[in-house]
Amino acid sequence: MKRFLAIKVFLWFWLTVISTLAILVSVSFLQPDVLASKDISPPMLKNLFHVKKSLDKHIQRNPDKSLEEILSHRRHGKRSKIYLKHDDPEKSLISNPDLNQFDLALLNFSVGGEPKVINTDRYRAYGPLSVHIQQNDYQLFMILDNREGDLFLKVRLMPRWMKLSILLLASLVLSYWFAMGLLKPIKQLQKAASQLAQGKLSARAEVDKTRQDELGQLGKDFDIMASQLETQVLSQKRLLADISHELRSPLTRLQMATGIASGKATGELDNYLQRIEKESHLLDHMLSDILQLSRLESGTSCVEMQPLCIAELLEPIFSDAQFESQQLNKQVITSELPEKLLVGDTILLNRAIENIVRNALKYAKKTVAIQCKIAGEQFVLQVSDDGPGVNEDMLDKLCIPFYRASQSRTPINNQKGGFGLGLAIAQHAIKVHHGHILFQNNQGLDVTVRIPLQQPHVLQQ
């Protein structure tokens, strides 16, 4: 039968209760005989004085009889028995031989105290009550057989600190065991969901297949969902890459035909052909970006790691950016370039940094500030512009292919890009180098790139 989670919780609760009681009972049998006392009720106290008074009368009526004879012949209730305790144990007397099977020495502590109800696992005593009989002082106890079972009485007679400790320890251990069994699949699901949210489509919960409850079914459904999502995304990326690749050939032929036609066209027709050529170049650039992004995402891009001088890598990029900024009446401010060596791929790093700088230059109003520094074992590049920035809820979406923070992000002024691919390529190129890219709003948009100076796989070689 299928075990549902509610049934498991219910059964585990009662298992905890039963196990705790079993531990209490087991421990109770390991301790020596103990007793517990409580205040005597008024009716029982009155009954105890009645026994004393009856005993005194019986002794007065039979002065020639010994105390043993009086106790043995005196009629008592079916369950009540009398124990006269003397300071000298040899002079202590009992009214019934059955009391010899009880450990009456447990009553020693009660001498001289107020009458109490004294419980042991074998009997119940009421007393003591001081009496003076035949020139001897005794402590009078009325003994009754204990009707309570030994099992639960032993538990009740245990010290409170011991019972509390056992209850807490047993419940904590069993509850922790159950909680771990319950939380394990939840943690697996949480970890897999987090990895899936970060773009790792191969993440699976891998919940124990033998689980037949709701959590086990949830884990199976999650894995099925993740598999279908991975298949759909990979199919979409493969389709986009295949289409982009197949479009290169007809696009190339279109550019060649346009070039030939431009040489023969005149007047207004030549203007149309120039427009077609311009748009075809933009389309060619977009297809190149798509193919580059597809290779980076699939891990098939050829990466050649080698030591690079950071200053030599960045100087051409910044020079081109300063030249372009003059044409746009803007300014690019750069800090001193570090002379440290960075292990990386020249083409990928150049493409990533160039895309970030061009994006900042495109949306800046007047100024783009670039800071380069070495922090520990990392190269840190910060590119800041004084543009309008991006809404906070859109910062984590800037690297999604074809995503635009606003409808105005379209190619203008003969600029390449504008299709939402530049930052996506930059992010994947930086990931290849085990780096990280961060977007923040300041006066405009701040882009911070951190790349380790050494790559892990290079260090291992």
CA distance 392 to 388: 12
CA distance 304 to 313: 15
Residue 267: left if φ>0, alpha if ψ -120 to 50, beta else—which one? left
- Two tokens, residue 387: 């543009």
Find the angle CA(419)-CA(422)-CA(425) to the nearest 5 degrees. 125
CA distance 436 to 448: 8
* 8 A C-beta contact, residue 451 and residue 378: yes
CA distance 308 to 340: 8
Which of 146, 131, 153 minimizes the C-alpha distance to 52? 131
Pairing relationship of beta strands 116-119 and 93-94 according to DSSP bridges: unpaired
Which secondary structure element, helix H or strand E, spans residue 218, and what is its range? helix 214-264
Give the number of residues written for the chain: 461
The residues carrying an active-site annotation are 245
Q: How many CB atoms lie within 10 A of CB 301?
A: 18
Which of 48, 66, 190, 227 minimizes the C-alpha distance to 136? 66
Q: What's the farthest any 2 CA atoms get from each other in the chain?
A: 157
Calculate the alpha carbon distances from 44 to 33, 78, 140, 227 in Å: 25, 16, 14, 77
Residue identified by tokens 């891998």 is 206
